[in-house]
Amino acid sequence: MEILQDRYRIEKILNCDGAMIRYDAYDTFREQAVEIFELYPTEIVTRDEDKKSVKLKKISDEGIFKQMRDDMEREARKLIPLYPLDHIAGVITYFNENNTIYFVTEKTKGISLDTYIRKKIHGANMTVKAVYEMASPMLKTLDMLHEKGVIHGRISPDLIDVGEDGKMVLTGIVSPMKFMEGINENYSPVEQFAENGQILPETDIYAFGAVIYRLTTGNEVLPFYERLSEDNPEGKDPILEPSRYNGGIMDYQSDAIMKAISIYHFDRYKTFAELLKAIEQEDYSDTGQIRKREAPIKLINEWKYKRTILWGFVAAIVILGLFFIPKAFDLTGRTGAKAFYKKLIAADDYTKCRMIDDLGKTERKTFANDYSQMEEEGEHDIRYYDLITERFSDYGSIDKSGKHLRYVSLDYRLNGQAILKVHYDGDETVMTVTLKETSDNGYYIEKTESKEGKIADSFVGIIHDNKQEEK
């Protein structure tokens, strides 16, 4: 078990977003749980032979890495005197070790926002009032930090926890804001991607506006380049107002959320206080952006009228949906998985790596076991694709009584690797792929082939389009 500074015991990795590694740790001196963030931009660094120290992939990136360390150290110095912060995991200290920089932050007591959505409210859309009550203490602290020149720059559900008091707590307050690796495009506005673009308080406002949109509608805001695409009908922003998805959202609240996620920073609110005021009060003076709240009695009457007309349609749709939709989804999923795995198994090793690396987040959830977005891999059920029945099932459900036993599994791991296992009538191939192409467009793999339980062949090294480089 790794010990840093002869004091901090690393318990486990919580996540790695491509820029920082977040650890669950224990301060043996103060005897308290903490979190530690390690600067580890996977695009430009890797581990040295001791498996602990950080080394550059290319010496030409030394200046970039140094600038990142200096910028983050400067931010930490601003934050340490402010500790503790209300509903933000404050920075306790920082230190340099293993050729990189580490930040020790307060340990939040609670669960991640994603876990809260999945387990506490079972995926249901939240009301704006509920989000307001959960988030307002955190957002007020963020306004204070903005006034002091501190901007988070990477707000997303991955870095928001729900504390024991039911309020949101923001983590990862120190981050390499100008380093794009690991940034979640659904919560990042256009200025973060512009050359020499500025990171502003409005950047955080956009990000949390996108969080509100996700919590109240169940949908994520599209990346800025899709919103600005010339292919959009009549050049319009394809993002729909939250009230279109959630009947409990008032028009003025819906417009306030849309203003927070405006594409350009000058159209957004300047402070979180303005955003909170806009979604809280009944009448908002900025009628050019926010429509006044409709009278509750009018909305109730309209709903009763619409309900009478639509009830028959809803009943019919539900009945038809119960019969047809499961069959349609099952057929679509089975057809897609069959085609994917047929092509994957037949491909050469390099093409396998490309297919596994290029598989999108949605497809990963459909065709594989995607642990990469989970807090702990144990929370996920392990699925196998049975090549005989052409269905997904757990290992215990696979028929092992027959002469032939053929199945495949594909796991995406928290550490940025994917593991492909193919079992075919007693022969088994296991290939571990590091999901980032090397500087020379290759993939680092570890591959083992077994026959009747005995290792027949193995390979460890970098594989290219037309050659292997064994290590």
List pLDDT tens digits, range 262-281: 999 999 999 999 999 999 85
pLDDT of residue 459: 85
* pLDDT at res. 263: 94
CA angle (102 as vertex; 99, 105 as ends), nearest 5: 175
- Type and span of the H or E element at 303: helix 296-346
Residue 288 has pLDDT above 60, yes or no: no
Higher pLDDT pick, 424 / 63 = 63
How much of the chain exceeds pLDDT 70, in percent? 81
- Angle of helix 201-217 relative to helix 251-260, nearest 10 degrees? 140
Cα 215 to Cα 261: distance, rounded to the nearest angstrom: 14
Better pLDDT: 158 or 3: 3
> Is the pLDDT at 335 greater than 70, yes or no?
no
Which tens digit of pLDDT belongs to each residue from 40-79?
A: 999 999 999 999 999 999 999 999 999 999 999 999 999 9
pLDDT of 310 higher than 70: no
Segment of 82-86, 280-284, 413-417 carrying the highest mean pLDDT: 82-86
- Per-residue pLDDT band for 4 (boundaries 50, 70, 90) equals very high
pLDDT band at 395 (very low <50, low <70, confident <90, very high): low
Q: Which of 157-161, 200-204, 331-335, 352-356 has the lowest average pLDDT?
A: 331-335
Q: What is the pLDDT of residues 193-237, one digit of tens each?
A: 887 667 899 999 999 999 999 999 999 999 999 999 888 887 789
pLDDT of residue 381: 60
Question: 345 pLDDT exceeds 80?
Answer: yes
> Of all helices (H) and strands (E), which one includes residue 243?
none
What pLDDT score does 15 carry? 86
Other Cβ atoms within 10 Å of 279 Cβ, number: 23
What distances in angstroms separate CA 44 from CA 41, 55, 178, 414, one per listed residue? 6, 9, 14, 19
How confident is the model over 85-105, as pLDDT tens digits?
999 999 999 999 999 999 999
Region of poorest pLDDT, from 55-59, 294-298, 393-397: 294-298
Domain ranges, ordered by start, for the chain: 3-106, 110-280, 329-470
Which pair of structure tokens corresponds to residue 353? Answer: 């790596």
pLDDT score recorded for residue 328: 47
Q: What is the mean pLDDT of residues 172-178?
A: 78
Q: Per-residue confidence at 127, pLDDT binned at 50, 70, 90?
A: very high
> Which string of DSSP letters, residue by residue, matches 325-380?
HHHHHHHHHHHHHHHHHHHHHHS-HHHHHHHHHH--HHHHHHHSEE-TT-S-GGGS
Q: Is the pLDDT of residue 348 over 70?
A: yes
pLDDT of residue 183: 82
Torsion angle of the four alpha carbons 333, 335, 338, 342, in this order, in degrees rounded to the nearest 10 = -130
Lowest mean pLDDT of 9-13, 53-57, 188-192, 229-233, name the range. Answer: 229-233
Most confident segment among 172-186, 267-281, 310-324, 383-397: 267-281
Task: Name the architecture of domain 3-106.
Answer: 2-Layer Sandwich (3.30)
Residues 6+ apart with CB under 8 A from 230: none
CATH code for the structural domain at 110-280: 1.10.510.10
Res 1: pLDDT: 75
pLDDT value, residue 238? 93
For the chain, the average pLDDT equals 83
* Position with higher pLDDT, 304 vs 218: 218
How high is the pLDDT of residue 331?
Answer: 43
Tell me: pLDDT of 156 over 60.
yes
Q: What is the DSSP letter of 85?
A: B
Mean pLDDT of 354-368: 83
What per-residue confidence (pLDDT) applies to 373? 66
Q: Would you say residue 181 has pLDDT above 80? A: no
Q: Which long-range contacts (CB under 8 A, 24 or more apart) does 54-63 make?
A: 54/98, 54/99, 54/100, 55/99, 57/439, 58/439
pLDDT at 191 over 50: yes
Is the backbone peptide bond immediately before 201 cis, with ω within 30 degrees of 0? Answer: no
Structure confidence at residue 413 (pLDDT): 85
Q: Which position has the higher pLDDT, 439 or 185?
A: 185
- In this structure, of 135-149, 208-222, 331-345, the range with the lowest mean pLDDT score is 331-345
% the chain with pLDDT above 90: 45
Query: What is the rounded distance in angstroms from the CA atom of residue 204 to the CA atom of residue 143?
Result: 10
- Quick check: 305 pLDDT over 70? no
Asked whether 15 and 158 are in contact (CB, 8 A), the reply is yes
Query: Is residue 121 scored above 90 in pLDDT?
Result: no
What pLDDT is attached to residue 402?
Answer: 57
Q: What is the mean pLDDT of residues 139-149?
A: 96
